[in-house]
Amino acid sequence: MAMRKFLNDPEQLVKEALVGVELAHSDLLRFDRENQLLISKSAPRQGKVALISGGGSGHEPLHGGFVGVGMLDAACAGEVFTSPVPDQMLAATKAVDGGAGVVHIVKNYTGDVLNFKMAADEAADEGIKVEAVVMDDDVAVQDSLYTAGRRGVGATVLAEKIAGAAAARGDDLAAVAGIVRHVNERARSFGIALSSCTPPASGKPIFDLPEGEMEVGIGIHGEPGRRRAPLGTASEIAELMVEAVISDLKPASGANLLVFLNGMGGTPQIELYLMFAEVEARLSKAGYKTTRSLVGSYITSLEMAGASLTVLELSDATTALWDAPVNTPALRWGV
């Protein structure tokens, strides 16, 4: 089984990688081996609403890279492209609850939604207040291979940052959950893949995409999107992405936007910044103001070549929460 990967035993990959995350970021978090969780060293904090998320591995830095201060309190890591189990989510919820309740940020995939629901019910039985918010910002398809309704993608990163800041300043459970919902409602995403990727356990590409073609509206597990098309220029692809996102989001005229141009893992920065410039030119021409931006590979699909665009319509309140201090392995400012 020949792959272009640094790997020992595929079955041990997630655990071995999380050991590395703990070693590199021991000031911020610890690795709970038994439950396969990354937990903030500052959790639990009495009286602070806690935030947890989780999902399949292979999307790093999502979610473990966002555990620390001012963002997530814990992240549950499933195996590659596989939902974590309810016991993990329950253990995370119990580990971080400081008495003010726990928000579950759940990407809309059937397994994640079901498992987080079971964990929330069990936590409630044990007296912990939980509010779950399901993210579904991907406008590419209505239903998909692993989803009823729209998929949850890039807006998850933004919700974790913005709601994490709200929790840090002392907002209560309903308010923090409300902010996650608000971000989900005012954000939309759309992705394009230029290549497939190969999960280590199978050693086989998850789909076949010949060079010179692109998958328009790809999901983060390689779920098919709207259509397959000949590879366009960066300019044509930016047009597609902006059209898909803006026509669905319908921001107010002249709105302030947070533009998140995300790499899927295998696309170099030089191409991401080229795409950001193309996207920005179109948004600016349409009268919008990009007042905040994020360019880089933050929600990935292993080594997939591709990019996704997430646009969030900002208010003064969400802008201030975005700017608030954050200290995590993957996002850090103000500290």
Active site (catalytic) residues: 59, 221
Task: Locate 129 and state its tokens.
Answer: 């207040």
Q: Is 110 in the site for a second copy (CB under 8 A)?
A: no
Closest CB to a second copy among residues 305, 312? 305
Query: Which region among 18-26, 45-53, 131-139, 156-164 touches a second copy (by CB under 8 A)?
Result: 18-26
Query: Which region among 124-132, 159-167, 176-184, 302-310 touches a second copy (by CB under 8 A)?
Result: 302-310
SS3 at position 61 = coil
Q: How many helices (H) and strands (E) does the chain have?
A: 8, 14
Residue 230 is given by DSSP the state E
Put residue 137 in one of left, alpha, beta given phi > 0 → left and psi -120 to 50 → alpha: alpha
Residue 334 is given by DSSP the state -
Site string for a second copy, 190-229 (x = CB under 8 A): ----xx---------------xx-----------------
SS3 at position 280 = helix
Q: How far is CA 183 from CA 36, 155, 238, 243, 257, in A?
A: 28, 7, 23, 20, 12
Site string for a second copy, 131-170 (x = CB under 8 A): ----------------------------------------
The whole-angstrom separation of Cα 218 and Cα 225 is 5
Contact pick of 172, 185, 239, 303 for a second copy (by CB under 8 A): 303
SS3 at position 287 = coil
Closest CB to a second copy among residues 317, 335? 335
Residue list 54-83, contact with a second copy (CB under 8 A): 57-58, 60-61, 65, 80
To a second copy, the closest distance from the beta carbon of 177 in angstroms equals: 29
Q: Is 34 in the site for a second copy (CB under 8 A)?
A: no
Burial class (CB in 10 A: 0-12, 13-18, 19+), 223: buried
Cis peptide before 63 (omega within 30 of 0): yes
Nearest to 60 by CA among 275, 220, 271: 220
Query: Which region among 9-17, 103-111, 121-129, 244-252 touches a second copy (by CB under 8 A)?
Result: 9-17
Nearest to 133 by CA among 184, 172, 84: 184
Question: What separation, in Å, do the N-terminal and C-terminal C-alpha atoms of the chain show?
Answer: 45
Contact pick of 122, 185, 239, 271 for a second copy (by CB under 8 A): 271
Closest CB to a second copy among residues 179, 299? 299
Nearest to 164 by CA among 37, 42, 248: 42
Q: Is 275 in the site for a second copy (CB under 8 A)?
A: yes
Q: Is 239 in the site for a second copy (CB under 8 A)?
A: no
Question: Which positions touch a second copy (CB under 8 A)?
Answer: 2-8, 13-14, 16-21, 23-24, 57-58, 60-61, 65, 80, 194-195, 211-212, 231, 233-235, 237, 265-278, 280, 290, 293, 295, 300, 302-303, 305, 307, 332-335
